[in-house]
Amino acid sequence: MLVAGNWKMNLDLAAARQLTAGIVSTVGKPKNTHIAICPPFVDLDATYSILHGSGIKLGAQNMYHLDSGAYTGEVSAPMLRAVGCHYVILGHSERRELFGETNQSVSQKAIQAKTHKLVPIVCVGESLAQRDAGVHEGVVEEQVRQSLESLHVGESSELVVAYEPVWAIGTGRTASPEQVTQMHTHIRSILVELFGQKIGTGIDILYGGSVKPNNALELFSQPNVDGGLIGGASLNADDFASIVASADKAATIRF
């Protein structure tokens, strides 16, 4: 299991330090669950020094697909590694919708992340219109295939996929356990096809979209759900710790 907090464009340096310290002191040491937080770029260095030794990993929310150069405003994989990042979120639906991210750019970034030993958390998910039109499985399948098919994955721990239906993000509306199971099982079969049985079954598939303390256990108990990508609720240490505890409980029920 993996629970990753996506802070999005929230918290300045002082607030980021405070929340990180709060998370370190409340999450404890779950047995079967890895934990990550993904603060804004400018908070990464400071949060890393607070996380250091806690077992909680650091992640970034985006990166560019080249090492360095004249790319004003961008941040590279080596820079993220240098400030202690283990993960990088790629292709979040907000980046796809608002910043023109495509499956092709996500694919380039995922390859670059892997080259620099960052673990990409590749996000996929359909819009409400696509779900209502019944094309959600095809849309997500295309996102998974086009974002990942050029990637070489030597071990399942080198890649994470996050299924986040766009209509569930920040809306308070979660996908039902049946909808989540159906999509995660579909994604699992594509991962097995792309990377083989052993690696494909071991890759963590996270669910994201309005995961809260009161629904986390049910969502994480579904087959092929290996944890969550948490937005709003990751900004509160107690809520985040409760979600981590639910993941750990689901892990013991399932395995």
Amino acid at 159: L
Note whether 24 and 47 are within 8 A (CB).
no
Could you tell me where the DSSP H helices lie in the chain?
A: 13-26, 44-51, 77-82, 93-98, 103-115, 128-132, 136-148, 177-195, 197-202, 216-220, 237-254
Residues 131-150 that bind ligand PGA (CB under 6 A): none
Active site residue 86: no
In the complex, what is the shortest distance from the CB of residue 4 to ligand PGA, in angstroms, rounded to a whole number? 8
In the complex, what is the shortest distance from the CB of residue 170 to ligand PGA, in angstroms, rounded to a whole number? 4
Catalytic residue among 34, 65, 164, 184: 164
Give the separation between CA 57 and CA 54, rounded to whole angstroms.
8
In the complex, what is the shortest distance from the CB of residue 110 to ligand PGA, in angstroms, rounded to a whole number? 17
Pick the closest to residue 158 from 120, 200, 111 (CA basis): 120
Q: Which residue, 10 or 156, has its beta carbon nearer to ligand PGA? A: 10
∠ CA 239-171-63, nearest 5°, is 75
Catalytic residue among 34, 65, 92, 136: 92
Q: Which residue, 230 or 245, has its beta carbon nearer to ligand PGA? A: 230
Query: Which 3 state secondary structure label does DSSP give 83?
Result: coil
Q: Which residue, 40 or 208, has its beta carbon nearer to ligand PGA? A: 208
Note whether 60 and 44 are within 8 A (CB).
yes
| Number of chain positions touching ligand PGA (CB under 6 A) | 13
Q: Which residue, 5 or 200, has its beta carbon nearer to ligand PGA? A: 5
Active site residue 141: no
Q: What residue number has its CB nearest to ligand PGA?
A: 231
Give the separation between CA 113 and CA 107, rounded to whole angstroms.
10
Q: Which residue, 165 or 200, has its beta carbon nearer to ligand PGA? A: 165
Residues 188-247 that bind ligand PGA (CB under 6 A): 208-211, 229-233
In the complex, what is the shortest distance from the CB of residue 173 to ligand PGA, in angstroms, rounded to a whole number? 9
Pick the closest to residue 118 from 77, 157, 73 (CA basis): 77
Q: Which residue, 38 or 44, has its beta carbon nearer to ligand PGA? A: 38
Which residue do the tokens 């399948």 mark?
141
Tokens found for residue 16: 């980021």
Q: How far is CA 77 from CA 2, 21, 33, 54, 64, in A?
A: 22, 25, 25, 23, 7
Residues 160-179 that bind ligand PGA (CB under 6 A): 164, 169-170
In the complex, what is the shortest distance from the CB of residue 106 to ligand PGA, in angstroms, rounded to a whole number? 15
Give the separation between CA 48 and CA 36, rounded to whole angstroms.
11
Give the per-residue contact string, 4-43, with ligand PGA (x = CB under 6 A; - = no): --x-------------------------------------
Q: Which residues are catalytic?
A: 92, 164
Q: Where do contacts with ligand PGA occur on this chain (CB under 6 A)?
A: 6, 164, 169-170, 208-211, 229-233
